[in-house]
Structure 1
Amino acid sequence: MEKTPQKDRKPFTFFKHEHKPVEQKPESSKQKWKKVSDKTVITGGAGYFGYTLGCTLAKLGTEVILYDVNLPLWEIPNGVLLIQADVRDFEKLYEACEGADCVIHTAAYGMTGIEQVRTKEIRSTNVGGTGVVLEVCKQRSIPRLIYTSSVNVVFAGQTIIDGDEATVPYFPLDKHVSEYSRTKSIAEQMVLAANGTPLAGGGVLYTCALRPPGIYGPEEQRHLPRLALNIQRGLFAFRIGDPKAVMNWVHVKNLVRAHILAAEALTEEKNYIAGGQAYFINDGEKFNLFDWLDPLFEGLGVRKPWLRAPICLVHLSAVVLENVYKALKPIVEVTPLITRSEVYNMTCTYTLKIDKARAHLGYSPKKYTFASCVDHYLKKHPPQRNFFLLKCFLVMFFLISLIVVIVKFPELLKLLMPILEEYRGISLFSSET
């Protein structure tokens, strides 16, 4: 992506945003969506969530601009315009935002796949791109900015049980093992710190951030396809971590609902209640990942794993694979089979309450099933052939890479020793009871 000159702006400072009192409101099972914007620009609009949100807003009568460096996989409906450009390009984003009264900033880089280890690109897009979005909002006098953040701004492997926005602080930036999570945290704090900023043409900028966990839905492209492929490859031959570990996910339609409500909550009609606030958004349910994946195992015709591998073994593999990538990067880019961040997301308990979103936004998630998403996916992607040869190759590649890395980088042993010491005495495999 090309770099574009940007206007000078003052550096931001980190802060702990204030928490408005949470008062429970009665839920309505028949929430009606209404038009909350005349023109909305969605950065990252070619992605699954951004596209779904844009289509929903268009049906409500909003003029929608999907702004993304990529093209969407789906047809652009009436009332929606796609502008293919980089979120770091000030001039193009400035032009796209003419006449907009709301920006929803979903663009990000580095969540999954090979992107996870391209640290310079991650920082440039997630932090630099957010700076451009803020500057455009100020110069274009756009009064509302909603940032699609992540639960990873507060979570990085520690246990969280029914946490909320007031009691779960930002995870220390220097402790994050994922550049994606670190930069999402920085970007969120930039956006919330900008709440109340004067606009060039008069008025004030109101901002808020929504923190979803993993997103699922019938056309989701990041998590479900990768999970299905790795199950077929045999990488889920063992359950990982504590079988009692639970987490939250969010259906794309519930996340869309939350963003529409947030846009309304940044208006005078709602007394700008969401201004400067962050909200956890999920389905309001918690489950064990492997139990939740039952429909996918069944649909793929793969036996559900019953043996459990300890976290130490998986974590150690992730550390080695990340270092293998770094060693090979000057020659070739290799996608890590698993990263430390992914290990944490699969094996740790982290559940977050949505009471604040219910009270401030009127958010009431509807119930959806993962099984229906699996059925939809398998109709378009029938189970593939057995990956026996690929499994053998991956095992050989891992062992050879481990030897090469340790020989070439003996200091890596010093890095691994604390991990081995921490898990000393734990058997490599144990069966569930």
Structure 2
Amino acid sequence: MDGAWVYLVTGGCGFLGEKIVELLSQQDYIKEVRVFDSVARKEVEKFTTATTRVTVMKGDVRDYDLLLTAMQGVHVVIHTAAIVNEKNTVPFWEMRSVNVGGTENMLKACCALNVPYVVHTSSIAAVGPNTSHEPMFRGNEDTKYSGEVELPYGKTKAMSEKLVLEANGKKLSNGGRLTTCVIRPNAVYGEKAMFLQELYLLAKAKNGVMDYLEPENTERDSTYVGNVAWMHVLAARNLQLKPDLLAGQVYYSYDDTPTRKPFLVRHQLFASLDPSIKLGSHIPYWKIWLMIQVHRIIRIILYPFRKPTPFLSVPLVNTIVTTFSCETDKAARHFGYKPLFTWNESKHRTTEWLKAAAGNQEPSQLHKKKN
């Protein structure tokens, strides 16, 4: 069937989804990559090649009928559609309706239309840290970790991940079986990572000094978006070729990003673009906690008149300061994954985008756009 596969990428116009679409379009065994997204940026269709057509369809995963239409004739779904909201600026019910309800709709449509393969984009936030802020130090997919997840976003991703894993092996309407697996990205950087643009401009506004929240002994993994996308491409392909091995499995993302300290990753990226950016100092927890409370009070006071730019949330800060890292080669063992992009390539691609996106902007311009 090579050359005739039809893939659907939900959320395919997003940060990670677009990169998945780009890499899928380069695979000669795929006839069509269909994108289903509430944003539906038609420029994503530029990835169309001589052998693979990319088509964009506008729709919300909460709309089951639209999703059914988009999934007609599809063989593989890569489900990335989600509200990623770690600052708690989106109501939990809305985030749940997309992240959990949308996943339910996708799985229901797979069973109705006999779509046999699903790769689900989850998150390390689906595992932890928990509300007790217990660390996980270089764990793997088999590491036991319990407790209520700290981030509301993580709670919705844990719920959707559970749905996908429970759906593995479910009977399709034609008598076949649904085969699913899950990928858990960690902190993802790369082109169009808007948080990098914000932090770079913030450092420029502070005379080139980049302060940071993470204690220096905190470990968290970072992975380039292209390598996370490549892991999705390989997992989807091998879900078809080796279903008995990948079915019902979970995979953490990883690559050769040289440090588990996110503030050092950011500094290397920024300094590569602008050598004047200097590493500043650690911001104490109590200080950022106090700033969050003051900002919350200001928002309440000003709410009838204006909406101040969203700030950090306490759950997000608790997550940032807690060690939560993994060390695994499961993806390499199960489906031959190795990073498609080296650290130097990842850094170059990221900084080239950052130069174009933020290099000519003043910090005041960014704040104006957000307001």
After TM superposition, the score normalised by the length of structure 1 is: 0.73
Q: Distance in 1 between matches of 2:22 and 2:363?
A: 38
Task: Count matched residues.
Answer: 350
Per the TM alignment, residue 180 of structure 1 is displaced from its structure 2 partner at its CA by 1.2
Per the TM alignment, residue 237 of structure 1 is displaced from its structure 2 partner at its CA by 5.3
Letter aligned with residue 24 of structure 2: L
Larger radius of gyration: 1
Q: Any idea what SS the aligned residue of 2:223 has?
A: strand
Matching of residue 275 in structure 1 with residue 252 in structure 2:
no
* Residue in 2 that maps onto 1:25: none
For the Cα contact (< 8 Å) 1:322–1:339, is it kept in 2?
no
The 1:57/1:35 distance shift into structure 2, 3 A limit, reads farther
Q: Distance in 2 between matches of 1:38 and 1:304?
A: 49
Q: Distance in 2 between matches of 1:73 and 1:243?
A: 43
| Equivalences for residues 12-31 of structure 1 within 5 A | none
Q: Distance in 1 between matches of 2:124 and 2:256?
A: 14
Q: Any idea what SS the aligned residue of 1:187 has?
A: helix
Letter aligned with residue 374 of structure 1: T
Matching of residue 261 in structure 1 with residue 234 in structure 2:
yes
The 1:131/1:330 distance shift into structure 2, 3 A limit, reads farther
Work out which of the residue numbers 220, 225, 229 in structure 1 matches 2:197.
225
Letter aligned with residue 275 of structure 1: A
Letter aligned with residue 140 of structure 2: D
* Residue in 2 that maps onto 1:64: 33
For the Cα contact (< 8 Å) 1:87–1:132, is it kept in 2?
yes
Unmatched 5+ stretches in structure 1: 1-33, 391-433
Q: Distance in 2 between matches of 1:232 and 1:36?
A: 49
Q: Distance in 1 between matches of 2:33 and 2:252?
A: 25
For the Cα contact (< 8 Å) 2:196–2:266, is it kept in 1?
no
Report Cα offsets for 1:49-79 as digits up to 9, x if no partner: 2122112222213211100000338441320
| Equivalences for residues 383-394 of structure 1 within 5 A | 383-385=360-362
Letter aligned with residue 132 of structure 1: N
* Residue in 2 that maps onto 1:378: 355
Overall identity of the aligned pairs, in %? 28
Q: Any idea what SS the aligned residue of 2:163 has?
A: helix
Report Cα offsets for 1:28-56 as digits up to 9, x if no partner: xxxxxx96970011100111221221122
For the Cα contact (< 8 Å) 1:36–1:264, is it kept in 2?
no
Q: Distance in 1 between matches of 2:194 and 2:236?
A: 26
Q: Distance in 1 between matches of 2:128 and 2:86?
A: 17
The 1:73/1:316 distance shift into structure 2, 3 A limit, reads farther
* Residue in 1 that maps onto 2:292: 318
Matching of residue 293 in structure 1 with residue 266 in structure 2:
yes
Letter aligned with residue 294 of structure 1: H
* Residue in 2 that maps onto 1:339: 313
For the Cα contact (< 8 Å) 1:144–1:206, is it kept in 2?
yes
Q: Any idea what SS the aligned residue of 1:107 has?
A: coil
Q: Any idea what SS the aligned residue of 2:25 has?
A: helix
Matching of residue 80 in structure 1 with residue 54 in structure 2:
yes
Per the TM alignment, residue 154 of structure 1 is displaced from its structure 2 partner at its CA by 1.3
Q: Distance in 1 between matches of 2:209 and 2:168?
A: 44
* Residue in 1 that maps onto 2:326: 352
Matching of residue 240 in structure 1 with residue 207 in structure 2:
no
* Residue in 2 that maps onto 1:163: 139
Q: Distance in 1 between matches of 2:15 and 2:356?
A: 18
Most deviating of 252-261 and 289-298: 289-298
Report Cα offsets for 1:276-314 as digits up to 9, x if no partner: 111101215433222222244433565424333222322
* Residue in 2 that maps onto 1:39: 6
Q: Any idea what SS the aligned residue of 2:246 has?
A: coil
Q: Distance in 1 between matches of 2:4 and 2:187?
A: 27
For the Cα contact (< 8 Å) 1:258–1:281, is it kept in 2?
yes
Q: Distance in 2 between matches of 1:252 and 1:82?
A: 21
Unmatched 5+ stretches in structure 2: none
Letter aligned with residue 323 of structure 2: T
Per the TM alignment, residue 95 of structure 1 is displaced from its structure 2 partner at its CA by 0.8
Per the TM alignment, residue 80 of structure 1 is displaced from its structure 2 partner at its CA by 0.4
For the Cα contact (< 8 Å) 1:116–1:179, is it kept in 2?
no
Q: Any idea what SS the aligned residue of 1:139 has?
A: helix
* Residue in 2 that maps onto 1:118: 91
Work out which of the residue numbers 98, 103, 122 in structure 1 matches 2:72.
98
Per the TM alignment, residue 152 of structure 1 is displaced from its structure 2 partner at its CA by 0.5
After TM superposition, the score normalised by the length of structure 2 is: 0.84
